[in-house]
Amino acid sequence: MASTENASDPAPGRPSSRPPSLQEPTEPTGPLPPKSDQQGAQPRTPTGAEPGREPSTTAQQGEFLTTSQGARLRDTDHSLKAGRRGPVLLQDHHLREKITHFDHERIPERVVHARGAAAHGVFEGYGTAEPVCRAGFLAKGVRTEVFTRFSTVVGSRGSMDTARDTRGFATKFYTEEGTFDLVGNNIPVFFIQDGMKFPDVVHAAKPHPDREIPQAQSAHDTFWDFVSLHTEAQHHTLWFMGDRGIPRSFRMMEGFGVHTFRLSNSDGETSLAKLHWKPALGVHSLTWEEAQLLGGADPDFHRRDLADAIESGAYPSWELGIQVFPDNAEQSFEGIDLLDPTKFVPEELAPVQPVGRLTLDRNPRNYFAETEQVAFNPGHLVPGIDVTDDPLLQVRLFSYVDTQLTRLGGPNFAQLPINRAHAPINDMLRDGYGQQGDHSGVAPYQPNSLDGGCPFLAGEMDGALEDLPVVVPESVKERALSATFEDHFSQARLFWRSMTPVERDHIVDAYSFELAKCYEATIRERQLQSLANIDGELCARVAAALGMTAPERTIPAEDGTDGAPVTSAPLSQLGARWPTDGRTIGIVVDPDGDNSALLALHDAVVAASMTPIVIAPRGGEVAGVPVGRTFGTAASAELDALLLAGNPLTAPDARPSVDPTAGAPSSGEVEPRVGTLIDDCWRHAKAMGAWGEGRTALAARTAPGGAGLVAGEDGRAVLSEIRTLLESHRVWERFPADA
């Protein structure tokens, strides 16, 4: 019992460690220490280790299997029974803990963007954004940790990577001023103009609710029923009917913030802006056939490609750029409504100005803890970046938080390790499911004096997040959109006209395939009408493929926006040259031939920051180089170029009775599966090179004088020419376009 002899000892029950002041505190101070009789939980990691910067402190600890409370276990194979043949006992606490955790180890997948892959990295600012944006992470030389997640939109977690779909491109910047999330797509426009329609477009794109098919596809009636009726979706649909809908790699995708944001500089001046990610490797795509082959042979192709590139040191990189517009009362630029998320601004009208570089250089350690539990939100903003009145963005600000509450089990999802800010947190938020903090103090409210007034509100000089003062015009409360949102076709027409002939062929093929999958002819007819309003040639070619009559245009033919260019070169993926880092080079070898130069060739490919894969009749090694694929496992779809160092004539796994293409050829012919590999690379417009006996195989399966074919005396010389061809990604000039 406490002594009462000393009159200066206070009576027990004081709520705070320091007496409050009479007036509300005005001088900022940090959190008060706990009272002398208080001792919080001793800090430990989730796996019982002393906390530290080493990643191993959050991994499993010790050499023995334990319960979740750290008690060592002698058996985890047998439940506790009343005798060896008796019933299982309810008192088996280890059984109940193990099974209960297993029953609950899955969380609801995302409604959209369920299938994703991610990586850690760093963003370095150039300082070039300073005239328009005061965000600290954009300052020159500032390096900010990031986590970037790529995803498909429609498919479930178990769907394939290479489905035709929009891709998500979301980056979490752990800045010193708080977390900033740039949550975008690989297409700069969206299906809908108002977030109210988001459930409708997702329900339409998802599998039919009665059969739960087709999975991860838009080639079905409900999707085309919706977009043909809701014509504001036509622009976005045209983008992903093109090559953007099947990217070659996450590393070769553009990213777009989609919406217009409001930026402010250190003087308080504001601008409107759109944010872009430009990949260092250029924007490239799979062919439709490659996407289908990979969906069966390697449905994880994109996530494998990303992880393998990082592991091999070919770090993916993008420049962040901004298009800047005056912050005028109309919030428009050159006749384009900047609040309409179905519109973009051509780069000829507003160039993309680079402001920093993102490099992804570390793979996640645990998919669930990082890639699955990461929670993005377009409302995670930092000083200098604010939202606009874009009606889709406004609804997203609510929807993302609401989604995480269910998916991640409550309001404390920001405390999950992958979501934790790298800036001090003093939010006065308490308790709730999943609370991991051990808060001190007694006054999580404002104003207070019992905790010394802490936490204080930040002033103008303290780097506070600011809701920029924007004039809201006097208006009428109504459910409607501005008349400037009514043009649904002119920018789609601009996109189509900006495509090269080969890209137009791919768009026509995509529409023809998808619409042919629709059961109802009326839906096909209705969609053809939208195509007619975009472009007559596009409509006529798709109609011919469907065996239908092309309708006439029902809207005026003008482009609809003053000053808009007739074409926009950056919309096409072709015509430029790009670095070849991270490309995959297949090398067909004959183990019985002369392979004395194979190791030097292999090393030359690696030195060029590309990945060599040796393809041989059998596994093992050839001339000291590991065989990466056999004839039975190699596929053109996973290669960017093919080199033929020999012409092997036999394969030990050939079983003609099961696979006619695997039969051993007659003398002088090409091994059938090697021939198929060459045929596929030819058809997929890939560069191919050969020397020695490999020239015989190449000549036997390709047309004389075909574009993108290199025949030489040695592998190093051929590789040099192939690398130059790879700078254009594919050799489309091999085939004349239909358009």
- State the catalytic residues: 113, 185
> 129 is written with which tokens?
């954004």
Cis peptide before 364 (omega within 30 of 0): no
Q: Are 144 and 175 in contact (CB under 8 A)?
A: yes
- Looking up tokens 């308490």 gives 430
> Which residues lie below 8 Å from residue 88, measured CB to CB, with a gap of 6+?
79, 80, 81, 95
CA atoms in the 13 A half-sphere facing the CB of 433:
9
The packing angle between helices 198-205 and 391-407, to 10°, is 70
DSSP string, 90-131: TT-HHHHHHHHHHHT---PPPSSS-SEEEEEEEEEE-STTTT
The strand pair at 629-630 and 611-616 is best described as parallel
> Which residues lie below 8 Å from residue 550, measured CB to CB, with a gap of 6+?
528, 532, 536, 539, 540, 543, 544
Q: Which of 414, 306, 320 is nearest to 122 (CA)?
A: 320
State the DSSP H helix or E strand holding residue 170, giving kind and residue range, or none if neither: strand 167-175
The strand pair at 641-644 and 687-691 is best described as parallel
> 292 is written with which tokens?
């289908």
Distances (CA, A) of 412 to 58, 114, 386, 416: 19, 21, 24, 8
d(Cα 582, Cα 609) in Å, to the nearest integer?
A: 6
| For the chain, counts of helices (H) and of strands (E) | 15, 20
> 445 is written with which tokens?
């409210």
d(Cα 391, Cα 386) in Å, to the nearest integer?
A: 15
Name 599's bridge partners: none
DSSP state at residue 88: B
Helix, strand, coil shares of the chain, percent, nearest 5, are 30, 15, 55
CA atoms in the 13 A half-sphere facing the CB of 621:
7
d(Cα 200, Cα 16) in Å, to the nearest integer?
A: 53
Q: Which of 201, 288, 188, 191 is nearest to 247 (CA)?
A: 288
DSSP string, 9-57: SPPS--SSSSPPPSSPP-S---PPPPPTT---PPP--TTSPPP-SSGGG
DSSP state at residue 71: -
On the 0-12 / 13-18 / 19+ scale of CB atoms within 10 A, 471 is: exposed
